[in-house]
Amino acid sequence: MADESILKVENIRKAFGKRHVLKGVSLSIRKGELKVLMGPSGAGKSTLLQCINFLVTPDEGEVWLEGSRLNRARKHDLYAYRQQVGMIFQDFNLFDHLCALDNIEIGLVRVKGLHKDAARERAMGELERVGLSDHAHHYPAQLSGGQKQRVSIARALAMDPKVMLLDEPTSALDPELIGEVLAVIRNLVANGMTMIMATHQIGFSRALADEIIFMEDGQIVEQGPSVKMFSDAVSERTRAFCAKISELYGETF
């Protein structure tokens, strides 16, 4: 079982000062799966995702990618690992001084060492995939939120990641822009991308997630197939949370 998983995370702990934000979280994901992280604000979802990528250094815990343990003390291994794990942020984090195309190109040239022409071609292809080829030369300041997020997805995809981590990719967007980003993610699911995604989009998760992981207070309190989780969650808290979310966003399940 462990050998089948493409990414495995074990016993991640993290404290900021006295505040224990992650209290030993473990999970694993197989190729092509979509796992959705849910839970109230402050549960530790963002921290967990950033720990998986070591943007936040966990106090404890191990990570395996395709069965081999990451030795993060070795800088070279860490950088190589990060290339293979794509990350999408809530607030996009496009590089403000680069146009859409250059945002995608820079990782290919600087990190992967691709030749400029090859990088350009690849970047253009990724932009097309997210439907933004006609915005290639627009700068972040000239793009809408939805467009920025699509560029950031293209930027991550260009690195050929084995797994993608998405941290509430739509929650900074105006409601009318959420659809275009979800459509791109839906497309990724259809193409078999392996993803861990924190989101409050219940309808989307119910339709597409293989598993829902419910977190609260730095721990996984419940996890299971999406259909089962939404219809008869075992824990009272999970149920209450789902009810509240659906009330808030007007989604039924």
Partner 1 sequence: METLLFFQQEVIPAFLKGLRVSILLILPSAVVGLMIGTVTGALRAYGNRGVRLVADAYATLFRGIPLVVQLFMWYFGLPYFNVYLNPFAASVIGFSLCSGAYHSEYVRGAFLSIKRGQLSAALALGFTRLQMVTAILLPQGFRRALPGCGNELIYLVKYSSLAYMITCIELTGEAKVLASMTFRYTEIFFAVGLVYLGLVTFASWLLQLVEDRFTVPGFEHHEL
Ligand X SMILES: Nc1ncnc2c1ncn2[C@@H]1O[C@H](COP(=O)(O)OP(=O)(O)OP(=O)(O)O)[C@@H](O)[C@H]1O
User: Site residues (CB under 6 A) for ligand X?
Assistant: 16, 21, 39, 41-47
Of the candidates 92, 99, 107, 79, the one whose C-alpha atom is nearest the C-alpha of residue 140 is 99
Name the H helices within 43-144: 45-52, 75-84, 100-110, 116-129
Q: Per DSSP, which regions of the chain are E strands?
A: 5-16, 19-30, 34-38, 60-65, 68-69, 85-88, 163-167, 195-198, 211-216, 219-224
Instruction: State which of residues 46, 147, 199, 205 lies at the interface with Mg ion (CB under 5 A).
Output: 46
CB of 174 to partner 1, least distance (A): 19
State the Cα–Cα distance between residues 97 and 33, nearest whole angstrom.
35
Look at residue 87 and give the partner it binds from Mg ion, partner 1, ligand X, none, a contact being a CB closer than 5 to 8 Å depending on partner kind. Answer: partner 1
Q: Is 152 in the site for partner 1 (CB under 8 A)?
A: yes
Q: Going by C-beta distance under 8 Å and a sequence separation of 6 or more, which residues neighbour residue 212?
A: 35, 36, 38, 205, 223, 224, 225, 226, 229, 230
Query: Closest separation between CB of residue 12 and partner 1, Å?
Result: 17
Query: With CB under 8 A as the contact rule, which of the stretches 27-35, 36-44, 90-98, 208-216 interacts with partner 1?
Result: 90-98
Binding letters toward partner 1, positions 194-213, x by CB under 8 A: --------------------
- Give the integer Cα–Cα distance in Å for 225 and 209: 8
Among 3, 73, 75, 252, binds partner 1 (CB under 8 A): 75
DSSP state at residue 144:
-
Report the nearest approach of ligand X to the CB of residue 50 (Å): 8
**Looking at beta carbons only, is 46 or 152 nearer to Mg ion?**
46
Q: Find which of ligand X, Mg ion, partner 1, none residue 170 binds, CB within 5 to 8 Å per kind.
A: none
Amino acid at 237: R
* Residues found near partner 1 in the complex (CB under 8 A): 50, 53, 55, 75, 79-80, 82-83, 85-87, 89, 91-99, 106-107, 110-111, 138-142, 152, 155-156, 159
